[in-house]
Amino acid sequence: MSALSRITATETKLFLREPAGVFFTIVFPPLLLIILGSIPAMREHDKALGGLRVIDLYAPIIVAMAIATFSLSGLPQQFATYREKGVLRRMRTTPVKPVVMLGAQLLMCTAMSVGVMVVVLAIGRLAFNVLLPEQPLAYLIAYVLCATAMFTIGLLVASLASTGKGAGAIGTVLFFPVLFFGGLWAPRATMNDLLRHISDFTPLGAGVQSLQDAATGHWPQLLHVGVMLGWTIIAGGLAARYFRWE
């Protein structure tokens, strides 16, 4: 096994030993879909939503929520903790460089968030008759763009925070507004024009809309693709500028 695969396997085992982290990142998103889908009103077709049901809108929202949870909670806090405790500094004296640890964290978070997406889509289809994405390739592209934007924001948080607790606090402050504009409390289709316009320029709002567009057979809008790429470039550039191993 390569160093990257070994460290990824080790990081995954360490992550799975944290019950709270496992619950909120892996268990809670599918559970939330089950809870929402169990409400009869969520399964009724609504002309105001173009004939869709509210549960149809929530499937991509919950997929995006899982991405946000990994990127703003797990990734920055863990990496800032490693830097705070000198783990990354000690790794620089070994053949395995700290960048491998970064790659392992990103690979683990990506793999787990993809797993959550598959589970959410499966539950939505089997339990609540939520249609699978009509444009699978567009859905995959939207997912990758959204995940990349959010993970680079997570790396920016990790680069600015001096401690693991600080990274957790910053991530929590960002988490709830990001989810709000992503439509968790009120789906984008039910937002007024001002909130929807603001949501268009947030990484999760653009990501959710792109996932919803792909789910209904359309390709992501250029505005939303540009927004996600913009967040990736800006947050990624700032993270690279301020990131430190020690």
The tokens for 169 are: 């606090």
Quote the tokens at residue 141: 């592209």
Residue pair 235/156 in contact (Cβ under 8 Å)? The answer is: yes
| Digit-coded pLDDT (tens) for 107-156 | 888 899 999 999 999 999 999 999 899 999 999 999 999 999 999 999 89
Task: Decide: residue 182, CB within 10 A, 0-12 exposed, 13-18 middle, 19+ buried.
Answer: buried
Look at the chain and count its residues: 246
**Type of residue found at 212:** Q
Average pLDDT over residues 89-118: 84
Residue 57 has pLDDT above 60, yes or no: yes
The answer to whether 235 and 149 are in contact (CB under 8 A) is yes
Q: What is the structure's pLDDT at 195?
A: 94
The predicted pLDDT at position 1 comes to 55
How many CA atoms within 13 Å lie on the side-chain side of 97? 2
What's the pLDDT tens digit per position in 147-196?
Answer: 999 999 998 998 888 888 898 899 999 999 999 999 999 899 889 999 99
Q: Residue 103: name the closest of 237, 11, 224, 198 by CA.
A: 11
Its pTM stands at: 0.91
pLDDT of amino acid 152: 92
Domain that holds residue 214: 3-242
Q: What is the pLDDT of residues 207-221, one digit of tens each?
A: 999 999 999 999 999
Using CA atoms, how far apart are residues 212 and 139, in angstroms rounded to an integer?
8
User: Is the pLDDT score of 101 beyond 90?
Assistant: no
Output the six-digit token pair for 149: 């934007």
Q: Across the chain, what does the average pLDDT equal?
A: 90
What total number of domains does the chain contain?
1
162, 80 Cβ separation under 8 angstroms: yes
Tens of pLDDT along 192-204? Answer: 999 999 999 999 9
